[in-house]
Structure 1
Amino acid sequence: MQSFRRGGLRATAGPRLTRTPESNPTRDLNIPFSQWTKEQVCGWLEDYGLGQYINLTRQWVENGQTLLAATPQDFEKEMGMKHPLHRKKLQLALRAFTSKVAEKSSELDHIWVTRWLDDIGLPQYKDQFHEARVDGRMIQYLTVNDLLTLKVTSQLHHLSIKCAIHVLHANKFNPNCLRRRPGEEKHPSPSEVVQWSNHCVMEWLRAVDLAEYAPNLRGSGVHGGLIILEPRFSSETLALLLNIPPQKTLLRRHLATAFAALVGPQAMQEKREYGNATGHVPLTTTAKVKPKKLGFTQFSHLRKRKPDESADYICPIDSEALTVNGVSRVLTPAHRGFSSTLDRQAEKWQPPAIKAHSNVPDKN
Structure 2
Amino acid sequence: LAEFRRGGLRATAGPRLSRSKETKGQKSDYNAPFAQWSTERVCNWLEDFGLCQYVIFARQWVTSGHTLLTATPQDMEKELGIKHPLHRKKLILAVKSINTKQDDKSAQLDHIWVTRWLDDIGLPQYKDQFHESRVDGRMLQYLTVNDLLFLKVTSQLHHLSIKCAIHVLHVNQFNPHCLRRRPVDENNISPSEVVQWSNHRVMEWLRSVDLAEYAPNLRGSGVHGGLIILEPRFNGDALAMLLNIPPQKTLLRRHLTTNFNVLIGPEAQQEKREIMESTAYTPLTTTAKVRPKKLGFSQFGNLRKKKFDESTDYICPMDTSPGATNGTQKSYGGYKGLNQLTDRELDKLDQVGQID
TM-score (norm 2): 0.82
Whole-angstrom CA distance in 2 between matches of 1:262 and 1:108: 30
CA displacement 1:160-211 (0-9 Å, x = unmatched): 0000001001101000000011112324100110000000000000010100
Q: Match for residue 315 of structure 2?
A: 314
Q: Do the aligned residues in 2 keep the contact of 1:316 with 1:332 (CA within 8 Å)?
A: no
Counterpart CA distance in 2 for 1:237 and 1:92 is 36
- After TM superposition, the structure 1 = structure 2 runs for residues 1-364 of structure 1, keeping only pairs within 5 Å, are 26=26, 28-296=29-297, 298-299=299-300, 309=310, 311-318=312-319, 322=323, 331=338, 333-335=340-342
Shift of residue 52 of structure 1? 0.4
Q: Do the aligned residues in 2 keep the contact of 1:76 with 1:82 (CA within 8 Å)?
A: yes
Q: Which amino acid aligns with 1:214?
A: A
Shift in Å at residue 286 of structure 1?
1.0
Assess if the C-alpha contact under 8 Å between 1:318 and 1:332 holds in 2: no
Would you say the 8 A contact 1:154–1:287 is kept in 2?
A: yes
Is the Cα–Cα contact under 8 Å of residues 317 and 341 in structure 2 kept in the other structure? no
8 Å Cα contact 1:38/1:62 also seen in 2: yes
Q: Which runs of 4+ in 1 moved over 6 A?
A: 300-308, 323-330
The CA deviation at 1:321 is 5.0
Bigger Cα displacement from structure 2, 94-103 vs 39-48 = 94-103
Calculate the aligned-residue CA RMSD, in Å.
Answer: 2.4
Structure 2 unpaired stretches of 5+: 1-22, 344-356
Alignment partner, residue 17 of structure 1? none
Q: Which amino acid aligns with 2:82?
A: M
Q: Tell me: CA distance 1:244–1:228, structure 2 relative to 1, closer, same or farther (3 Å).
A: same
Deviation at 1:279, TM superposition (A): 1.2
Q: Is the 8 A contact 2:230 2:339 kept in 1?
A: no
Q: Aligned pair in 2 of structure 1 residues 103, 305: CA closer, same or farther (>3 Å)?
A: closer
Question: Relative CO higher for 1 or 2, CA cutoff 8 Å, sep ≥ 6?
Answer: 1
| Alignment CA distance shift 1:310-1:266 (3 Å) | farther
Specify the code of the residue in structure 1 equivalent to 2:121.
I
Displacement of 1:301 in angstroms is 8.1
Alpha-carbon contact 2:122-2:222 (below 8 Å) kept: yes
Contact 1:160 1:221 in 2 (8 A): yes
8 Å contact from structure 1 (residues 231, 334) kept in 2? no
Deviation at residue 141 of structure 1 after TM alignment: 1.1
The 8 Å contact of residues 56 and 78 in structure 1, kept in 2 or not, is answered as: yes
Q: How many residues align?
A: 313
Report the CA distance between 1:319 and its aligned residue.
7.1
TM-score scaled to structure 1, two decimals? Answer: 0.81
CA 1:144–1:248 in structure 2 vs 1: closer, same or farther (change >3 Å)?
A: same
Whether the aligned pair in 1 keeps the contact of 2:199 and 2:223 (CA below 8 Å) is yes
Unaligned runs of 5+ in 1: 1-23, 337-364
